Structure 1
Amino acid sequence: MAGKNSEKQAEKISSGLPKTDGPRKHYDIYAILEAPQELYFGDEKEVNVNMVEKVRVQTSEGVMEKCYISPTKRRGVERRCLLWSDAGGQLLMDKLSCGIPGTCCKDSCPVCAVFGGLIAGEKTFIGRLTHSGGVAVSGQIALEKQRAMHPALIYKEKDSTPMPYRKEYAQPGILYPVSNHCLSISREEFTTVAYAFLMSLNRLGAGNPKGVALARGGWEGGVEPLLVVDEYRVPLGERPILSPSLTDNDEAVKTFVQLAEDFRSEQPEKFRRSTGASALKVLQDAAVLFEEKFLKA
């Protein structure tokens, strides 16, 4: 009897993750994103002005306000991109019976397996994907523009007269260094991460306009996406994470490339790094595998 109880106790404290055929590895995605147009990420409202999210950073020029793409907002966009994908004529969320916040916590769910999930009082999946970065490089301030009231707000207020208000926008051309980090995931689970990252790029932002692009820079003489993908069991490379105190775009790009090129390549079974166009191909190939496995009818 005592033996059975100890077995049950062991089951409760185990990870709960199914065993995989191949080894679990760690994966990192590092990128510099560029806004090709104005971008709005809501933060708060002040006297009829919708404020864009900003942070204050100590730089060599003193304390500076910078625009900010919150990692939690990026995470939410990525998860929705997965759940709202077509899966043979229905949304993946309907096919899986998984949503936000009503997650399913099924072993077969590719979303909960990576992003985590919760059924209160019953089951919890700990997310193994974290999001970082998002502080703009340059200290360009957000500019205000006047907008008419959204139709939904007109209905809510029972007033047919649109009331103008002012809204801040982060300006075009701002660079945002970001990174995603995966802890002990299978190759199949990485396909979920890759698909979500790529799909989210055109959908980042609140309201309209939306979208960012992978910024491009010099890699060994060629102009390629400022993108790095690491697959490893041992971290054998410098992490291309930029200090928020940087304020010059050219310096930021140069630093990113220098850090990305500083890694040990003699043990690819322990650490493999892809950069630029090669890194983009890694993500695209993984995204194709996700579509073929989870989004077919």
Structure 2
Amino acid sequence: MDFDNTMEDLSRDWLQAELDETLDDMFEMEFNEPMLSQEIRRIYKRQHPDTLDNRVYYTNLLRLQSELIKLQYWVEQTNAKVLIICEGRDAAGKGGVIKRITQRLNPRVARVVALQKPSDHEMTQWYFQRYVPHLPSGGEIVLFDRSWYNRAGVERVMGFASEDQVEQFLQDVPEFERMLVRSGIIVLKYWFSITDEEQQLRFLTRIHDPMKQWKLSPMDLQSRVRWEQYTKAKEEMFERTNIPEAPWYIVEGNDKKRERLNCIEHILSKIPYEDLPTEKIALPERMFNPNYERRVLPDDLYVPKVY
């Protein structure tokens, strides 16, 4: 038997099996869709006539996720440190992108940081202090679902930070990020961008979808009211913090599928990882004790078989 051909067949079979499993997401979407009113569904489909075909999307997503696993091995073996900052307007798709990046990775290597609002104690600290403990150590990929850039965005627009505090932040953050890069951290900063109309549509779907209403907070609703203020704050943030050592990258997000694929492709292109050899794994033989008898456990220890 030709070993190379056998392995190629197994790889092809694995990819098809993974694709079939991943296509379950499509059924989840179909089940979820009836939660929306007919009117909202018609509007959404009319606004997205050119959305990426599902089969093209899932096939490429699996390909990119397999590359992310190679990146993970490289990070582990080279002790690299990767920091991915995800920012953007509410409902811009940050969470969906982060989920697809980490979906098949080892959570001990790739972890997500999504901090709550600062406590009274943290409010007295140096602004960057509460973020520093979450920075990547050697062999880690860390994704920040929002970051210290809260100060340049929501804190500024909602009045949680004074203009003096914002100005101090905008002066400090370029040097802070240069320090991170000098320490050996690969810093990638992404802004997920959607149009005014798209955000409004996504908020409407959340309002009418009981499975997604939890995603809407009073702060999210205020972001609709203050769209132009957020735009001005974002533009100044880009102008003041887009540095050669840690530039901003804008990901267009009106089509969630393209947004996810484009972002992952870009991450892979910006990190100099290699497909490193890994140790071959052999399944050891199970040890059998001829005198061992398995105990019968009481029925009340088992979860009821409802299905």
TM-score (norm 1): 0.25
Question: Which structure has the bigger radius of gyration?
Answer: 2
- Length-normalised TM-score, structure 2: 0.24
Determine which structure has the larger helix proportion and give its number: 2
Higher strand share: 1
